[in-house]
Amino acid sequence: MIGEGVSEEYISRKELEPSQFEESFQSEQTYLPDKKEIMPSCDDCGVVFESVPDLARHMNRWCPENNDLKRKREKEDEDIPIKKSRVDEIDIEDGEDTAFIKLTELAREANEDIWEEKVDKYMDGNMNEDHARRKANRKLKNEDMDQFLSRYSSLVEYLLQLQNGKLHGKVMKMITKLINDDMDYEKAIKLAVRKYKPLLESYLDEAIDNETNDDGSESEDSIDDEGEEEGEEEDEEDVDDESSTI
């Protein structure tokens, strides 16, 4: 029959040896790297992004699976005995007093230039330095209090905005873990902030871009205004020239 004794030889020539197949597969892997390994991705839903700022925006707007994961974790944690965290046990000596004192110092610094002007004014009026400083303190007490309350109000507002934040939550989770591993809380804060520095830096880049865009639009407006003013001056000169020739 036609083809007898040939089909087996033909098939054997067409089939690749195992070693050849493996080399071919490895060469394909060499030229087709897995991009997910070098691109930032969301820890919760696994979505891969082209840049860190894109990942930051995704995290801050809450990824689609975040609520499902949260409910799942809460359900899993129901059967786990509650262990008191060391974070809750941290007793920073005079912690609240230290924070409020720092806010008052910042308030005084904001009014420092005005305070120095008053001291100099009182001393020029033959008042001794100690008396002048105390009088300046009394005069600026209301202004200092306004600055203090303004800063404290801003701090409370930031805390409320951050308490359910995705990125802030990751930072606090790492701080809690480090503290529970017996690390000093100040060092834990520095390490956690440093770890998420790229994501935090995206906010600075965005602020700089917005400021640059605002400055650019203002400068263009100022150029247009200057051009209009120059045009108006030229028109006035033309009118003066015409009136002098009549």
222-228 long-range contacts, CB within 8 A, separation 24+ = none
Least confident among 19-23, 127-131, 149-153? 19-23
pLDDT tens, residue by residue, 182-238 = 898 899 999 999 999 999 999 999 999 988 887 766 555 555 555 555 555 555 555
Overall pTM > 0.85 = no
> Mean pLDDT over residues 28-45, rounded?
58
What is the residue-averaged pLDDT of the chain?
Answer: 74
Least confident among 12-26, 103-117, 149-163? 12-26
10 versus 190: the higher-pLDDT residue is: 190
> Mean pLDDT over residues 27-55, rounded?
63
Q: Does pLDDT of 58 surpass 60?
A: yes
Q: State the CB neighbour count (10 A cutoff) for residue 38.
A: 8
3-state class of 81 per DSSP?
Answer: coil
Q: Does pLDDT of 159 surpass 80?
A: yes
Residue 64 is predicted with a pLDDT of 59
> Mean pLDDT over residues 6-34, rounded?
48
Contact 162, 168 (CB under 8 A): yes
pLDDT tens, residue by residue, 72-87 = 555 665 555 555 556 5
Name the band, by pLDDT with cuts 50, 70 and 90, for residue 243. Answer: very low
Contact 37, 186 (CB under 8 A): no
Residue 17 is predicted with a pLDDT of 53
pLDDT tens, residue by residue, 85-142 = 565 556 566 678 889 999 999 999 999 999 999 999 999 998 999 999 999 999 999 9
Name the band, by pLDDT with cuts 50, 70 and 90, for residue 55. Answer: confident
Q: Which residues pair with 48 in a beta bridge?
A: 41
Task: Name, in order, each residue with C-beta under 8 angstroms of 174's C-beta and a sequence gap of 6 or more.
Answer: 188, 191, 192, 195, 196
Q: State the CB neighbour count (10 A cutoff) for residue 67.
A: 11
In the 8-state DSSP scheme, what is residue 39?
S
3-state class of 111 per DSSP?
Answer: coil
- C-alpha to C-alpha distance for 134 and 175, rounded to whole angstroms: 43
